[in-house]
Structure 1
Amino acid sequence: MSDDAATINTSIMVPISKSLHPLHEIAMTPTHKLLLKQWLKEEELILNRIALKETQIDSVRKELTHLYCFFFLFHSISLIILFTTTSTSAFPMSCTRLWVPSLCSVLCSLGLIWAVRYKMESEAHIEKLLEREKEDGRLLGKCVEELKKKGLEFDLLKEVDALRRAKSLRVCEGKEGVKKWSGRDFVTLFFVGVACFVLVLTRVILCD
């Protein structure tokens, strides 16, 4: 009789254990529960870092816009002042003093171009970090979803190792993808061309 009761109890417990929700199984297992808490906390930290980097990118882009405006505004005003001085002044600046405005223009252009290039490099660096954070968030989100879906069937060693290998593979791919030319190079060349064009206009205004 006792054997029959044990058999009945076992047959009852099996479907009960199978009917448990994966989240209930995780709550009953310390290792899975701790891992889920750690991953959820890491997801929150990643979201905070993503928001911070997006704010930094917006700030750098605003600074770049200000530099662009200042570059063209400076050269426009300097050319207007130079043209007005040479055409209306009783003692206009001669061609022999061409080096004075040319030197000022070159120094200012080099300073602004360096500042623009530095800000563009900063923007590119932050964008790379942002892409890494987003990729880490996607990988971690998949692992969290798998853990919530599978419960005790979730293989900790296998899944965590797969997550690490995915991160290392992504880092290796990022190091291999080196580009010889980028949009930042063309922007720099454009500003160099504008600076040279301003020098030519300066010579035309003073000497012709």
Structure 2
Amino acid sequence: MADSGALVVTEAQQQHPLSQIAASETHRLLLKQWVKEEDLLARRVALWEACLNGARKEIAFLYCAFFAFHAASVLLLFLSSSSSSAASAAATTACRRSWIPYLVSLLSSLTMLWALWYKSDTEAVLERVLAREREDALYLARCVSELKRKGLRFDLLKEVDTLRRAKNLRAEAKGAADRPRRWQTRDLAVFALFAAACGVLVLTRFLLCN
């Protein structure tokens, strides 16, 4: 009776997918390799997330610097024009030399706008890379799950090919849906800041010559 019970337990263990994987050297090595790759992908995802967060912090800093610079410029010009409004000669001289702050403001605005454009493009690239890494991690996790669930019944070529096609379809659909919206948002933000910079330039001319 005890021997038959032990035999039943042994047969049940042999039928279990993990027991089948442990008994098969090929499947065991494949599972170990995929687990290592899964850990590596998790580290890479964490690294790309840190890079993306850093890029977003730099973009936020550039936005703050842009608005702070133009606010300080307008305030200084307003104070200088108010202090020199009593002297017409000084006001005329300031108007003739208005091209100096005008040029400084223009160059500073263009520099910050270029930096924002560059960092926004970097953010878009990092988002695409991170999305691809996450898709790879999800795809590999599903392969590991299917291997653990099916054991020796896991058909490597068929299962991996099916999961890869599903992954490619999701990536194409997501890219087609997200790419136009991301570029449009970035362009509108940069154009809005450029319009604000032009408004500051007009205000600079007005404060110095009136």
Fold match, TM over 0.5?
yes
What is the CA–CA distance in structure 1 between the aligned matches of 2:113 and 2:105, rounded to whole Å? 12
**SS where residue 182 of structure 1 aligns?**
helix
What is the CA–CA distance in structure 2 between the aligned matches of 1:176 and 1:184, rounded to whole Å? 17
1:204 matched residue in structure 2: 206
2:197 matched residue in structure 1: 195
After TM superposition, the score normalised by the length of structure 2 is 0.84
Stretches of structure 1 that go unaligned for 5 or more consecutive residues are 1-11
1:43 matched residue in structure 2: 38
Contact map agreement 2:13 2:19 (CA 8 A) in 1: no
What do residues 11-67 of structure 1 show as CA deviations (whole Å, max 9, x unaligned)? Answer: x97984454221111011011111111111111111101101111111111111111
1:184 Cα shift? 0.7
What is the CA–CA distance in structure 1 between the aligned matches of 2:133 and 2:167, rounded to whole Å? 11
Pairs aligned (count): 197
What is the CA–CA distance in structure 1 between the aligned matches of 2:136 and 2:69, rounded to whole Å? 44
Bigger shift: 15-24 or 129-138? Answer: 15-24
Bigger shift: 48-57 or 152-161? Answer: 152-161
What is the CA–CA distance in structure 1 between the aligned matches of 2:175 and 2:55, rounded to whole Å? 24
Alignment match of 1:184 (pick from 170, 183, 186): 186
Stretches of structure 2 that go unaligned for 5 or more consecutive residues are 1-5
What is the CA–CA distance in structure 2 between the aligned matches of 1:44 and 1:167, rounded to whole Å? 19
What is the CA–CA distance in structure 2 between the aligned matches of 1:163 and 1:85, rounded to whole Å? 68
Structure-2 change in CA distance of 1:50 and 1:62 (3 Å): same
Bigger shift: 36-45 or 95-104? Answer: 95-104
Bigger shift: 142-151 or 156-165? Answer: 156-165
Contact map agreement 2:98 2:208 (CA 8 A) in 1: yes
**SS where residue 117 of structure 1 aligns?**
helix
1:96 Cα shift? 2.9
What is the CA–CA distance in structure 2 between the aligned matches of 1:55 and 1:15, rounded to whole Å? 49
Identity %: 49
